[in-house]
């Protein structure tokens, strides 16, 4: 009996040692291929460039997820343990959207309402979005007053775009509605943003249910807030010495609420085991969820989506679906960078009875230096050049859709 137990102990010890060796090898492989794991824990000076608002840019809306606030908001940038930039963000326009509002929706001869994601609300240095350039382009070509009302929301997925469109279109009664989406947001879940004071700290939380009392286990920090991160404070400390108390509080808040990070020496977490059991080496029971992803198979069963499509149909307002390809897709000439996006586009077209217009069919090729369309090498939102490219292509789609609609009458 003792001999059997001794052999079992030896086998068990060998299995443990073998598993630890494989775990060590797997960690080395992750360090080479995945930025979520490092050789050592990061220091304050190594924290990536982060921004902090003095108050929330968003307020909760049970139907649409959130609205943008119109109060002035200041942003401070911190990098390498120093304040590197101070800026007041451009004001939200009178229609509740980032970007300029040129003219009047109410008085325009041609009214268009656009619903989309961050690619449609991201502004250039002149506080213009590609939607602004589309409006200017249409006015010039038509010789009539046109207003394109931008109702896009950052972080919004395709499903939520339909929700917002169904809530807004019957009230706005535009001549045409456009739902425009980038590839990465085709998979995004519906989100709601909640501004709250929690344990004395102002916070803005993104959650996946329409509630102002979110479950923190299934939500995440939208942005770092600190009420003292105002213009005068920022300018006084910009490019100066080490961070003061307010700056250190901002860093502390970021470290507490950011998604969990790992080093190669992180104890009590087996990357190999989590990969085998959960399919994700970085799975953690305490990790903040980033929501359920959308798939083509789940869309037909989504009651909200089906209801939104029916509402848009009953409103009697024509609408078109537009895919905004981002840099890798424009560079490769493939409309969708992943097969799952192609499937979602096909499914939303089937469910809505409308074709999804791919912009690559309307962009002259070849495109020299396609990287010009990016805001920066790290930020793939459109530059001014990229915005004008989008506006020109979508303008062609609008003209074509208008021609086809009038031909059917």
- Given CATH 3.40.50.1110, say whether it is the number of domain 94-189+294-408: yes
Q: Residue 46 above 70 pLDDT?
A: no
What is the band of 323 on the pLDDT scale with cuts at 50, 70, 90?
Answer: very high
The two structure tokens encoding residue 109? 């001869």
What is the band of 237 on the pLDDT scale with cuts at 50, 70, 90?
Answer: confident
Query: For the whole model, what pTM was predicted?
Result: 0.82
What is the band of 2 on the pLDDT scale with cuts at 50, 70, 90?
Answer: low
Nearest alpha carbon to residue 403 among 134, 141, 15, 128: 141
What is the band of 79 on the pLDDT scale with cuts at 50, 70, 90?
Answer: confident
pLDDT (0 to 100) of residue 32: 67
Calpha distance 399→405 (Å, rounded): 10
Encode pLDDT of 108-167 as tens digits. 999 999 999 999 999 999 999 999 999 999 999 999 999 999 999 999 999 999 999 999
Encode pLDDT of 336-353 as tens digits. 999 999 999 999 999 999
pLDDT (0 to 100) of residue 238: 84
Nearest alpha carbon to residue 186 among 304, 295, 58: 295
Encode pLDDT of 357-374 as tens digits. 999 999 998 889 999 999
HSE (side-chain half, CA atoms, 13 Å) at 138: 27
pLDDT (0 to 100) of residue 405: 52
Beta-sheet strand order (sheet of 192-198) = 82-88, 74-79, 50-53, 219-225, 201-207, 192-198
Please check whether residue 60 is in contact with residue 285, taking contact to mean a CB–CB distance below 8 angstroms: no
Encode pLDDT of 257-273 as tens digits. 876 666 666 666 676 66
Domain definitions of the chain by residue range: 2-33, 41-89+192-291, 94-189+294-408
């Amino acid at each position: 009996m003792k001999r059997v137990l001794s052999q079992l102990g030896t086998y068990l010890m060998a299995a443990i040692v073998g598993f630890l060796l494989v775990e060590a090898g797997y960690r080395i492989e992750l360090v080479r291929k995945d930025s979520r794991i490092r050789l050592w824990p990061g220091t304050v000076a190594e924290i990536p460039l982060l921004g902090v608002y003095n108050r929330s840019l968003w307020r909760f809306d049970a139907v649409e997820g959130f609205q943008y606030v119109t109060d002035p908001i200041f942003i401070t940038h911190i990098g390498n343990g120093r304040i590197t930039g101070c800026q007041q963000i451009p004001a939200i326009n009178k229609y509740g959207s980032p970007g300029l509002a040129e003219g009047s929706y109410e008085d325009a001869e041609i009214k268009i309402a656009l619903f989309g994601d961050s690619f449609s609300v991201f502004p250039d240095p002149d506080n213009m979005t590609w939607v602004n350039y589309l409006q200017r382009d249409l006015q010039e070509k038509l010789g009539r007053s046109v207003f394109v009302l931008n109702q896009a929301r950052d972080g919004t997925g395709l499903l939520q775009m339909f929700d917002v469109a169904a809530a807004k279109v019957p009230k706005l009664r535009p001549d045409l509605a456009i739902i425009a989406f980038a590839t990465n947001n085709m998979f995004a879940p519906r989100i709601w943003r909640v501004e709250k004071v929690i344990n004395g700290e102002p916070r803005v939380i993104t959650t996946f249910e329409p509630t102002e009392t979110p479950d923190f286990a299934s939500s995440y920090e939208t942005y770092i807030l600190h009420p003292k991160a105002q213009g005068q404070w920022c300018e006084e400390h910009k490019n100066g010495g080490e961070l003061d108390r307010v700056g250190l509080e901002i860093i502390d808040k970021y470290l507490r609420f950011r998604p969990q990070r790992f080093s190669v020496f992180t104890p009590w977490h087996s990357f190999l085991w989590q990969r085998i059991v959960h399919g994700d080496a970085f799975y953690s029971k305490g990790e903040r969820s980033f929501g359920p992803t959308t798939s083509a198979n789940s869309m037909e069963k989504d009651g909200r989506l089906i209801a939104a499509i029916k509402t848009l149909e009953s409103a009697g307002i024509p609408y078109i679906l537009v895919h905004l390809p981002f840099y890798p897709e424009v560079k490769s000439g493939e409309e969708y960078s992943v097969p799952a996006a192609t499937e979602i586009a096909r499914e939303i077209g089937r469910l809505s009875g409308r074709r999804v217009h791919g912009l690559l069919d309307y962009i002259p090729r070849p495109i020299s230096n396609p990287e010009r369309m990016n805001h920066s090498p790290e930020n793939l939102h459109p530059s001014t050049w990229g915005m004008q490219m989008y506006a020109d292509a979508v303008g062609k789609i609008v003209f074509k859709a208008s021609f086809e609609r009038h031909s059917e009458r």
